[in-house]
Each structure stands twice: as C-alpha cells, then as structure tokens.
Chain A
C-alpha cells in the first residue's frame, strides 16, 4: 500500500472531531441558505393519516384530537407536523381538539394553533378547542373517560370554559365521534392511546413521533394498531406536501381543496423555492434538503472511517 495513502488514513483516523462538526454544520447551513426543489415522496403511513383526517371534512359529527406529549427540545421534528395537521383541519373545515400532558407542552400548543389559525377565519370553541394542559397523572382517567363522555372527562378548556357548553361539542360525545387521535410525542406515549382508547373503545390512533422513536412504534403500525405514523422530519415534510397538493388546492372545479389521488401526488411537484407557499408551511421540506445533504456527508464519513480502519489494521497485522 502506498505510504501516502496509509499516512492520509492515519491522519483521518485521528482527526479532531471538531472539524467534522464544522463540515456537518456547513452541510446544513448551505442547503438552508440556498434551497432547492428536491422531490418529497409520500409514504403510506403518512398518506393513511391524511386520508383519515380528510374523510372528516365538513362533517359536524366527527373530530380529530391532537395530543401533545413533548417539550421544545423536539420541536424541529414535531412542530411542522402539528402545524400541517391544524392547517389541514382549518382548510377542510374539520373540528379539531388539542390537549397536552406536560407543562412545557402548553405554550407549544398555543404556538401551533396561533401559527396555523392566522390564515383562517376560525374561532376557538367553534372550529377548534384547546383542552389545555392536563396533568400526566390524570392521563389514564381522562383517556378512559373520553370513551364515555369527553365533556365530563375534560371538564374545562384552556380558557377555563366548561367544555360541555362549547359549540364545537355539538354532536361530539366520545371516541365514536372524535374518532381519530394523533399523539405527538418524543416517547412511546402512543402506546397508551393504543392500550386504552383503541383496545377498549376502538378509537383510531395515529402517532407523530421523532425519528428516534420510529423503530419502537413500527410493530404497532405493522399490526394496524396505529393507523398511520409521521416519522420524524420526513413525515412532516410529506404531510406538508399532501396539504399543499390537496387540502389547500383551489380551482374552479375544487374551490375547497381536491380529493386525494395517488396519481396526482405522484405527478405533482410543489416548488419550495418561490413564494407560492408560506415559509411556515414548507419548513420541514426545506429542512429535508439539509437533512439529505447531511446524510450524504455522514455516509461519506462512515465509509471513509471504515476504509481507513481496515487499511490501518491490515498494516498493523
């Protein structure tokens, strides 16, 4: 083996890790500063959630519950999902409830609602309702209680109003009506919804999880106990695209969004470089550009490190 090559790999093996941090940082900064139109492929777990949410469009008797069990540390992955789902609900006139179980999630719910609602003429207590922060220790009785009567289980919303008196509660009694629960978490908290709300009351459960938790939740997706799953930033980017292509679509034929179609999603490319889509609704897709470049860099480093390891080991032997 050429001496220069061995010397190069020896240096690479002992390189200061801070140089690698700099390279990874640039591989993220550059694609964010110079965005490009990469293709976002929509996968079935995300598609299934979209179709389920969309099936409630304009239906006074159906609602979606968004459960927040995370703090700001996992916002980059989960927040775009939450904004996208809220945007979908507001675009398609779907009743939506929000609830959170840890104190640090309470401002995130408000932030997500404020981000999505500013583009729509929606009203708290009529089109959406934030049940607010409920202590984690009461999660079990509230989950079970909502199977019988949501208004009794939750009692008050985030503004202290009696839930039973709110207009949004008309025709919404229990999981038969609030038939889809999407749990946004950086933990395995979706399993609790599966165990209590699904096993006992037959509610449809979906999960919006950080990429770390995806592998843990896959078995439940495979068995159908989770009807869909947002998988990290990629899942958020997929849902952003679905909402752009269908729910937010406007034309003479479809003034309030168009129905889901596999052909349309395959053919449609939504440009993220222009101003057609507001930044807040394409944040995950822009992030995925950086993610792709960072992954290529990491794969390169892994390959380089392994080649170096085997070459230097061979020399030692």
Chain B
C-alpha cells in the first residue's frame, strides 16, 4: 500500500515539474520548493548521525579524545559567517581548507599535467596521434595572445578554432544525450512503475 501511495506521489510531483514546459504554475513551484525542503530535511539528520555523532560527540564525550575539541571549535567558526561584526572569524576554517588544496597540488600536477603531457608527446604513428598533435599545437597557439592572429599564424590558429568547435560540438551532443536520458528515465517511471504499461 505504501509503495502504491509513494509511486502516486512521485508521479504527481514528476508531472508537476513537467508542467513547467507549458508555463510556470503553482504546481511546479510547489514541487520545486518541496524538493529543496525534503533534500535539506533528509540531509540534516543523516549528517548529524553520520558526521556529528561519530566524529565529534563520540570521540569527545565517550572516548575522551579531547584534542578533537580544537578542530570542532575551528569548524564551528563557520557559523560566524552570519554575523556582520564577527564574520572575519569564518576565514580561519577556510584557511585550513585551502591548506588541503595546497596538499593536492603536487599530485594534481602529476595526474593532470605531467601524465597528460607525456601522452601528448608520443610518436605520431597513426591518424589519431596526428590529429591529437595538430589539435594540441594549434589550440595552444590560439591561446598565445602575445602575437596578433594574422597571416599564416592566423590561419594556424583558425585550425585550432576548428578543433575547439568540434570539441564543443561533441560535448554539446553528449549534453543533449544526457538530457534525453533523464527524460527517458522519468517516462520509464511514469509508464512502468506508475501506469504499469512497461515491464
């Protein structure tokens, strides 16, 4: 019984969201607001149970690891973001957050720069590697702004533009596919789980 009711509620909310395709209306606004409320309502107790209890309450009050008080207090400084006078205190936990970003720099350089560069320097032994070579060089030249894009240099950078356009086209094509997939998912739900027409 519960499953039937929940399926009906989900179908109603799906149709409410789809109703925006016709025009903005109260059903759409209701479903949108409900989504935000339910997401937050769901997240708060889950975070309390999975974050606050095991990482703050239990270590301090049950295991007596009092050193945890320091990061807990530091983290709670985020709350001062809401204060006009003491808002500056929120910068301290942000500083620690930035330190973690700094820690990731060497490993990010390895995976996002060095390994990628090494793979771009392979011998040209086929059409794919040739295309990668031409595309990489011409796009890099396009983003070299110390020289005017004129004459032969301009023609070379134009090739870079073509490569980028093809890249954007592929990316856009995938985006269309993703959006259609989401629509398919919802229609599969409406036709299958709700109406029982697809099994």
Contacts and interface: CB of A to CB of B under 8 A. Distances in A.
Given A195-B111, A215-B167, A219-B116, A75 B46 contact: no
Given A33-B191, A298-B176, A191 B112 contact: yes
Given A104-B42, A135-B51, A222 B187 contact: no
A279 B54 contact: no
A74 interface: yes
A136 to B, nearest CB: 10
Nearest to B46: A103
B158 interface: no
A21 interface: yes
B177 A211 contact: yes
Interface stretch (A248-256, A260-268, A289-297): A289-297
Interface string B83-118: 000000000000000001000100110111001101
B147 interface: no
Interface string A97-122: 00000011010000000000000000
Contacts of A155: 54
Given A76-B185, A77-B182, A199 B110 contact: yes
Nearest to A104: B39
B149 interface: no
Contacts of A195: 104, 107-108, 110-112
B22 A106 contact: no
Interface residues of B, number: 45
Contacts of B110: 195, 199
B76 interface: no
A210 B35 CA distance: 21
Contacts of A212: 174-175, 178
A interface bracket (residues with beta carbon within 8 Å of B): 35 or more
13 contacts: A18-B21, A24-B180, A29-B187, A74-B182, A76-B185, A103-B42, A103-B46, A195-B111, A196-B107, A199-B110, A233-B177, A286-B198, A291-B177
Interface of B: 21-22, 39, 42-43, 46-47, 50-51, 54-55, 100, 104, 107-108, 110-112, 115-116, 118-119, 132, 167, 170-171, 174-178, 180-188, 191-192, 197-199
Interface of A: 18, 21, 24-25, 28-29, 32-33, 35, 73-77, 103-104, 106, 132-135, 138, 140, 155-156, 191, 194-196, 198-200, 210-212, 214-215, 219-220, 222-225, 231-234, 279, 283, 286-287, 290-291, 294-295, 298
